[in-house]
Amino acid sequence: MDNSWLRSVPKELQSLLLEDLLQSSLVGINITDGEGRVLFLNDIHRKITGHDPQLYLGRTMKEIVEDNLISESATQIALEKKQTVFINQVSSHKNKYFQVKSVPLMNDKGEILYVLNYLLDASELIKLRDKLEKAEKNNERLITSNELLRQKLNQSGEIIYRSKKMERVVEMATRVAECDASVLITGPSGSGKEVIANLIHSYSRRNKGPFIKINCAAIPEHLLESELFGYEPGAFSGGNPKGKKGLIESAQDGTLLLDEIGELPLPLQSKLLRVLQTQKVRHVGSNKGIEVNFRLLAATNANLKEMIEQKTFREDLYYRLNVIDIVIPGLDERREDIVPLLNHFLDLNNEKYHAKKIFSNDALKFLAGCSYRGNVRELRNVVERMVIMSREDEITLSDASIAFAAMNVNEQGLPEEAAETEDFIFGEGSLKEKVAAYERKLLQQYMAKYKSGAKVAEVLQTDQSTISRKCKKYNIVGEA
């Protein structure tokens, strides 16, 4: 570099020029003598370290380190090694972080006359690094937690999912499990509402306590009150002469699930609301309140808001129940869960019946394309039926077709999803004829719904030429 221009600058201006250059720098500058004694600091140095310059000027860097103003000294290292060094330093002022480059300036004899130190503020970078590290650790913990959760759920045979929708449901259930708020779980029949309730209880602080499940639709109305709330001795004829504790009391320090809450009669809705408001339950035949402590979960496939409009469900009870709501989608809304569920229930039933069944590719494709109106419950039953009824270890397309058709009968016992004849399953006819009848009916329904052979092929996970050929075979009209 040509520095000859400096010689043209008057000596009285050279020092001003040098100081202006040092002060205008965007990095902190610290100049020491050959013994590490601080001679100069620019203004940026103060901003970076957070220290008053008077704590540095005239003192050696060794003394400054001993006073714990900084973590270590790059100047000292540069003096010892007689070479440029780079280090990270921490200031005692609010944990400020900065990077330092120390350059020793030597004479011809190799003696260090000065050390020029450049400071670069790294506080924001360090904070960002710490945030990233924390985020990575949290992410690792979340991945581990999710994997443990998935393993636990899979091992219990309760929740199998691949879809994002069910992932959100499970994540929400585990999150709300930590609090004691009431939860209303809604979703179509067979979608897994009770399973989610089990999950919430298992991950709650009440998991050591009882988990009492009550199906409001399964208990006759005239018995429901005494079952829920208990009764005193002699409260009514035919009862236990010693009286009986109700199911609400049985949930003490645990969780109470009221399944099919929409079936609870209005008078009992009022009584339940009073229990939730007062945390006390009164036996039938008594005016004495008994303190109870339980977490309430409710589940239904009914539209409670419509029931409120129809005056068949109390609005105030609805809002007591619906502090947190979890909506479980049906299988048609999360079709990517069907194949994992099929394989899972196949494994469970193989173990249950000491079998070694496997799905053929055609059977699995067929079952993956079916619509399960009964959701997970129906799918589970279809798989169990196939394991029991199939004669060979490989479950074929015909096994799957017959099992699915048998599970979809109308009120008169006629298969709705297959041929509309009473003897479709057990009447006369060869297996080939039964499968063809079902296949024809299936294609008719899918072509009527999607109007396109390409779309039907996509849904049934086969190629369009197969759909076109079969539509021609069965004289099914459409854009095959």
Per-residue pLDDT tens over the stretch 150-181: 544 544 445 788 899 999 999 999 999 989 99
Backbone angles phi, psi at 151, to 5 degrees: -65, -45
Residue 414 pLDDT exceeds 50: no
Mean pLDDT in residue range 232-241 = 74
Average pLDDT along the chain: 83
Residue 265 pLDDT exceeds 90: yes
Question: Domains of the chain (ranges plus CATH)?
Answer: 4-121 (3.30.450.20), 157-329 (3.40.50.300), 332-473 (1.10.8.60)
Mean pLDDT in residue range 87-97 = 75
Confidence of residue 413 (pLDDT cuts 50, 70, 90): very low
H or E segment to which residue 215 belongs: strand 211-215
Helix, strand, or coil (residue 297): strand
Least confident of 62-76, 91-105, 385-399: 91-105
Confidence of residue 93 (pLDDT cuts 50, 70, 90): low
81 versus 444: the higher-pLDDT residue is: 81
Residue 304 pLDDT exceeds 70: yes
To the nearest whole percent, how much of the chain has pLDDT over 90?
A: 43
433/362 Cα distance (integer angstroms):
18
Q: What is the DSSP letter of 479?
A: B
217/300 Cα distance (integer angstroms):
10
Contact 300, 183 (CB under 8 A): no
Q: Pick the closest to residue 176 from 159, 199, 193 (CA basis).
A: 199
Contact 255, 299 (CB under 8 A): no
320 versus 241: the higher-pLDDT residue is: 320
Mean pLDDT in residue range 284-294 = 90
Q: Which residue has the tokens 């970078």?
A: 125
Residue 416 pLDDT exceeds 50: no
Residue 145 pLDDT exceeds 60: no
Contact 101, 74 (CB under 8 A): yes
To the nearest whole percent, how much of the chain has pLDDT over 70?
A: 84
282/230 Cα distance (integer angstroms):
8
Q: What is the DSSP letter of 100?
A: E
Q: What is the pLDDT of residue 411?
A: 32
Task: Please list the residues that pair with 105 across neighbouring strands.
Answer: 114
